[in-house]
């Protein structure tokens, strides 16, 4: 693997792409620490020393690489784009116009991408407004800190901050598209990878400082095992064989080839975890902003705020399992796959074309999704287990959303470099 890595840097055009990607990643990290005009940088740093960052804004802060709680220019991070992409993808199932655009090919995809950009800007304005509204009130965004984060709360200053954060989100989208066009890998995924990986050293070292070397080494050992398990499951798939019948056109004979339909164990990726995490933040958000002392508010505060209560863990796992089945159901259509196979003369050996093929695909999909959903739920609750055992941060480095994204993006990028090396007849990374 090391020789293949060295060969990648010896290839001029591939080396140029890798260095371009690394430069964009460095620029992205630089923007994550540049404070927004109007934010007291000194007070923010003082609050970060004593604040618990694993609460209400933990998920968004994870995707922004810590930029959210620093209220930097890139405070919103990639989260508005992720949310808008998911919304547009779901709307393709609901709205016939979006479904038609999806089937139009490249031109339709370009229009959907443009809609995603517009929605991203709208969400960035909404989220930045909400963040600034919370930050301007002392003790809201940092529960244990009463220092003023935004000393000047005039209307002009607030509008300027909203405009700067929204512009930062637009720049992030542009940087991601630059990586996709001129770099290596998917741009948005690379930026998410950069944000999450940037927090790993600090989180690991904080565990060593707080709990000692034993906890640190134990976490590292667990991390290696979790990464190996995630790589194994992410690569696992059920290959359904497909045979195409031979057909005669004039004197030429076509078809007769064999292929397969790959159905991954984790067909939905990290989307169910994001959905479940976002949904579970809503009760704590309502209690936080309402300030109610009613019975329902006290019950939510006891069971859903800390994140280590059995009710919270059970609800979290059940939501992940539900969203896994839901997302797989809307992204993989057995009827459409069976119809396309029938149109081009393809069939599964032993299964009749048409409705029996669709039923068989649904049968396989429903059963392979079960272990996939349980796997996602288990990986997602690893930070909660760490919270119970070590009283560590909920942003535990080797579990949940972080490790799923890091491993997934790493594997995808390695495969893309592998394919480019193979095109040049070099031995690649993966064997």
Q: 260 φ, ψ to 5°? A: -150, 160
- Range 207-217 average pLDDT: 76
Per residue in 123-132, pLDDT (tens digit) is 889 888 888 8
Please give the pLDDT value at position 255. 59
Can you tell me the mean pLDDT for 215-238? 82
Q: Write out pLDDT tens, residues 184-196.
A: 878 888 888 888 7
Cβ 54 vs Cβ 395: under 8 Å: yes
Task: Determine the pLDDT at residue 297.
Answer: 74
Beta bridge partners of 28: none
| Per-residue model confidence (pLDDT) at position 202 | 73
Q: How many CA atoms lie within 13 A of 305 on its CB side?
A: 14
For the record, the structure tokens of 373 come out as 């959903």
For domain 200-398, give the CATH number.
1.10.3370.10
Pick left, alpha or beta for residue 235 (phi over 0 → left; psi -120 to 50 → alpha; otherwise beta). alpha
Task: Please give the Cα distance from 11 to 13 (Å, whole number).
Answer: 6
Q: Where are the domains of the chain?
A: 1-198, 200-398
Identify the pLDDT of residue 430.
Answer: 52
Residue pair 346/244 in contact by the 8 Å Cβ criterion:
yes
User: What pLDDT was estimated at residue 121?
Assistant: 92
Which residues 6+ apart lie within 8 Å of 213 measured at CB?
none
Helix (H, G, I), strand (E, B) or coil at 10: helix
Question: Residue 374: pLDDT above 70?
Answer: yes
pLDDT higher for 428 or 302?
302
Q: Which of 39-53, 166-180, 253-267, 313-327 has the lowest mean pLDDT?
A: 39-53
Bigger pLDDT: 429 or 366?
A: 366
pLDDT reading at 257 higher than 60: yes
Quote the CA–CA distance of 187 and 173 in Å, as a whole number: 9
Choose among 141, 172, 158: nearest CA to 25. 172
Q: How far is CA 16 from the centre of its chain?
A: 27
Nearest to 77 by CA among 94, 86, 65: 65
Is it the case that residue 386 has pLDDT exceeding 60? yes
Backbone angles phi, psi at 77, to 5 degrees: 60, -145
Q: How far apart are CA 98 and CA 339, in angstroms?
A: 21
pLDDT exceeds 70 at position 46: yes
Which letter, b or e, does each residue of 340-377 get, where b requires 16 or more Cβ atoms within 10 Å of its Cβ? ebbeeebbbeebebeeebbebbbebbeebbeebbebbb
pLDDT exceeds cutoff 60 at 223? yes
Calculate the average pLDDT of the chain.
78
| pLDDT of the residue at 195 | 80
Low-confidence winner among 95-99, 139-143, 159-163, 327-331 (lowest mean pLDDT):
139-143
Would the pLDDT of 307 be above 70? no
Domain 1-198 and domain 200-398, same fold? Reply is yes
Higher-pLDDT residue of 2 and 303 is: 303
Q: What is the pLDDT of residue 7?
A: 73
- Domain 1-198: which topology? Preprotein translocase SecY subunit (1.10.3370)
Q: What DSSP assignment string belongs to 158-220?
A: HHHHHHHHHHHHHHHHHHHHHHHHHSSS-HHHHHHHHHHHHTHHHHHHHHHHHH-HHHHHHHH
| Residue 132 to residue 153: CA distance in whole angstroms | 10
Listed in sequence order, the residues at least 6 apart from 417 whose beta carbon sits closer than 8 Å to its beta carbon are 8, 14, 18, 184, 428, 429
Task: Pick 405 or 398 by higher pLDDT.
Answer: 405
Mean pLDDT throughout 304-320?
Answer: 78
Q: What is the pTM of this model?
A: 0.76
Mean per-residue pLDDT, 327-345: 83
The contacts of residue 309 (CB under 8 Å, 6+ apart) are 302, 303
Residue 72 DSSP class: B
DSSP state at residue 36:
P
């Amino acid at each position: 693997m090391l020789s293949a890595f060295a060969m990648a840097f010896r290839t001029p055009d591939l080396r140029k792409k890798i260095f371009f990607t690394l430069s964009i990643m460095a620029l992205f990290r630089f923007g994550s620490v540049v404070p927004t005009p109007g934010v007291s940088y000194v007070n923010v740093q003082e609050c970060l020393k004593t604040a618990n960052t694993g609460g209400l804004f933990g998920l968004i802060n994870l995707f922004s690489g810590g930029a959210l709680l620093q209220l930097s220019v890139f405070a919103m991070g990639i989260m508005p784009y992720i949310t808008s992409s998911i919304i547009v993808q779901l709307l393709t199932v609901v709205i016939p116009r979006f479904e038609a655009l999806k089937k139009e090919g490249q031109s339709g995809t370009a229009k959907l991408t443009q809609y995603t950009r517009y929605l991203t800007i709208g969400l960035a304005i909404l989220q930045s407004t909400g963040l600034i509204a919370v930050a301007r009130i002392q003790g809201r965004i940092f529960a244990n800190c009463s220092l003023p984060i935004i000393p000047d709360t005039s209307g002009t200053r607030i509008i300027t901050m909203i405009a700067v954060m929204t512009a930062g989100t637009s720049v992030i989208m542009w940087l991601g598209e630059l990586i996709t066009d001129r770099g290596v890998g998917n741009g948005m995924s690379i930026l998410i990878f950069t944000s999450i990986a940037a927090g790993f050293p600090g989180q690991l070292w904080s565990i060593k400082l707080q709990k000692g070397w034993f906890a640190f080494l134990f976490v590292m050992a667990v991390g290696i095992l979790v990464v190996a398990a995630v790589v194994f499951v992410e690569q696992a798939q059920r290959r359904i064989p497909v045979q195409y019948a031979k057909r005669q056109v004039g004197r030429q004979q076509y078809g007769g080839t064999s292929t397969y339909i790959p159905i991954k164990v984790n067909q939905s990726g990290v989307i169910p975890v994001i959905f479940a995490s976002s949904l579970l933040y809503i009760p704590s958000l309502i209690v936080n902003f309402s300030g109610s002392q009613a019975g329902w508010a006290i019950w939510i505060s006891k069971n859903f705020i800390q994140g280590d209560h059995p009710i919270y863990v059970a609800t979290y796992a059940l939501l992940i399992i539900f969203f896994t089945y839901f997302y797989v159901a809307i992204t993989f259509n057995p009827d459409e796959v069976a119809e396309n196979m029938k149109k081009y003369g393809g069939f599964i050996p032993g299964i009749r074309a048409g409705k029996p093929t669709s039923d068989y695909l649904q049968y396989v999909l429903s059963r392979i999704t079960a272990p996939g959903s349980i796997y996602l739920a288990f990986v997602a609750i690893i930070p909660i287990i760490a919270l119970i055992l070590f009283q560590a941060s909920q942003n535990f480095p080797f579990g949940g959303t972080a490790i799923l994204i890091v491993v997934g993006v790493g594997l995808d990028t390695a495969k893309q470099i592998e394919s480019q090396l193979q095109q040049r007849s070099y031995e690649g990374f993966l064997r």
